[in-house]
Amino acid sequence: MYGWSVSYPSTWEVASLDPAFVRIQQPPALPFGVVGIHSAVGLRGQSLDAFSDRMMAVEAGKAGFQVLSRRRTALSDATPALEVVNVLGVGIAGKSHKVFVLDGDRGLSINAETYLDSFPTLEPYFDRIIKSFTIRGTTAATPRPSGVQAQPVHPLPSHALIAGVPFISWGEAAKLDYHDKQILNPSVAASQGMVLEYWGQDRRRLAKTSDTLQGWTSAGGEGGKLDSIRSYVARGIPIVVNLAMTPAAHPAEPNAAALATLIGSGELRAGSNLTQQQWEHAQQLLTQYAGISSGVLGKMADLDTLRRWGDLLGQKIWQESVLLTSRVVVGYDDERKVVVLHDPSFGPAWEVSYGDFERMWGLFDHASMLMYPPDYAKVLASRSAVPSYAQRTAAQRAAESFVFGYALASTGRLAEANVRLNAGLAVQTSRRDTATCSFSSWHGWPKRPATRQAQFPDTSKREPCCRSIIARGSSCRGSTSAAAGLSGAGKPQSCGARPRSCAAMRRRRRRCSVPSRTTSL
């Protein structure tokens, strides 16, 4: 899986399993120090010097960076390498010993670093680990000092599915008491709760703190890769990922969308105050983006438009905490090229193609989060067989179809939207098990979102009235703006006429009921 091998003292431990960055940590008895093995791909034709400069570009721009030595060398397997020793920092300085190698279109670096005054203590350990690093053959071909163990190289299986990850729905999570509940989308709490319960913890821990449990490994951040996800899942470690709601579009905060529209059209200069005429235009846009005509899910924009708006405003407006749509990766299949996700709204073991996953993940800069206990391998080995995941319910399948159809319609892809919406309407249900899809309308952001419910009937005769409700919304909603410059002192938006009531529709024997308080995406 890694394409390299290394040996390290038995008292040291591997603190990260990500193939893009494997971290080996010192034991508590020694001063802090870490050995990181980084990998990068797509480097065919690049020189060893260019690769090393690229890998050191960030720290080279920081205060106190100084190269003490730089020389050509070779690994013990005769692979050509470049060795660099440098210091970094002013006051509290650090020292680093790095070795860079190229292997086809892949680049690898092993970096041992610690504080400057701790380097003499850890240098013997660093040297042993670095000298054991090879990329050709196996560690058996390299003499290994006593007291060290090899990091094995295993190929990733072509498919893997983690069994027994509990599923927590959006609605269940919305009822929990969790950290930053007023501003954090419940999908985040649902996803973190699933991971906690998988490792035997109570989801109610979320009410206390969002910090990692003591002694647990926590990793993640931006810049993740699908190979990294596959490597964790293959070991039975689920991962929380932030994805766009759909590959086609994602919700847009209406105030930011209105401002970006004005700036993008040239009507408003970035950073300037609104004139009365511009303010009135902004109100019209807010009515369109957050008023009665905005639809059940509010304003959604295609991913490229969101990025362009972000550039105009100087911030990633889609990454507001209330707009996050977190999911948990529980499996993958290379042959079918799908990622398997627990989605709090679309259900357990929801399959997404590699292409769609990459598009949705890319909007959030490939951000991920994982946590697992220090004895995770023993925990997994002690578990007995668990039943397979339940099939997604009619409501969850209808929710997926509706949201994807809504997103496609928002971007002008009406033919595709019609197919997805018809798929949602065609979900067959009994009177007792009505397919009820709940979605968030981001109105009143960032306060608790208003919600509504669309029930999909089981006969085509009732489709027109349901489509009408989907298209027009169902109640008069105000929108208190978070941007005082747009809504003036937080004045609520006025609403148009309320659509025909569901009671009137029922009198016409069209069982199309919409809005009731319910949980939402």
Pair (416, 288) in one structural domain = yes
Provide Rg for the chain, Cα atoms.
27
Pair (327, 456) in one structural domain = no
Q: Is residue 88 part of a domain?
A: yes
Nearest to 180 by CA among 321, 325, 326: 321
Pair (127, 163) in one structural domain = no
Q: Is residue 15 part of a domain?
A: yes
Q: How far apart are CA 73 and CA 81, in angstroms?
A: 5
Pair (191, 220) in one structural domain = yes
pLDDT of residue 106: 86
Q: How far apart are CA 159 and CA 149, in angstroms?
A: 28
Mean pLDDT over 420-428 rounds to: 84
Q: How many helices (H) and strands (E) does the chain have?
A: 16, 20
Q: Is residue 217 part of a domain?
A: yes
Q: What percent of the chain has pLDDT over 90?
A: 36
113-117, 151-155, 196-200, 385-389: range with lowest mean pLDDT: 151-155
Domain boundary residue among 94, 121, 150? 150
Dihedral of CA 275/288/501/393: which sign? Answer: negative
Q: Is residue 2 part of a domain?
A: no
Pair (122, 88) in one structural domain = yes
> Which carries the bigger pLDDT value, residue 492 or residue 300?
300
Instruction: Tell me: pLDDT of 463 over 80.
Output: no
Whichever domain contains 348, its CATH number is 3.90.70.10
Pair (48, 133) in one structural domain = yes
Mean pLDDT over 477-495 rounds to: 33
Pair (52, 144) in one structural domain = yes
Domain boundary residue among 381, 414, 429? 381
Could you list the beta-strand ranges (E) of 376-486: 435-441, 450-456
Pair (514, 489) in one structural domain = yes
Pair (368, 398) in one structural domain = no
Domain boundary residue among 133, 150, 167? 150
Instruction: Tell me: pLDDT of 145 over 80.
Output: no
> Which carries the bigger pLDDT value, residue 231 or residue 83?
83
Pair (411, 520) in one structural domain = yes
Whichever domain contains 142, its CATH number is 3.40.1000.10
Could you list the beta-strand ranges (E) of 125-199: 148-150, 159-161
Pair (174, 240) in one structural domain = yes
Mean pLDDT over 114-128 rounds to: 93
Pair (230, 336) in one structural domain = yes
pLDDT of residue 389: 95
pLDDT of residue 328: 97
Report the domain count for the chain: 3
Q: Is residue 303 part of a domain?
A: no
Q: How far apart are CA 504 and CA 337, in angstroms?
A: 48
pLDDT grade for 146, boundaries at 50, 70 and 90 = very low
**pLDDT per residue as tens digits for the range 321-350:** 888 899 999 999 999 999 999 999 999 999
pLDDT of residue 281: 85
Quote the domain boundaries for residue 377: 159-247+322-381
**pLDDT per residue as tens digits for the range 23-71:** 888 888 899 899 999 888 778 778 999 999 989 988 888 889 999 999 9
Mean pLDDT over 256-281 rounds to: 82
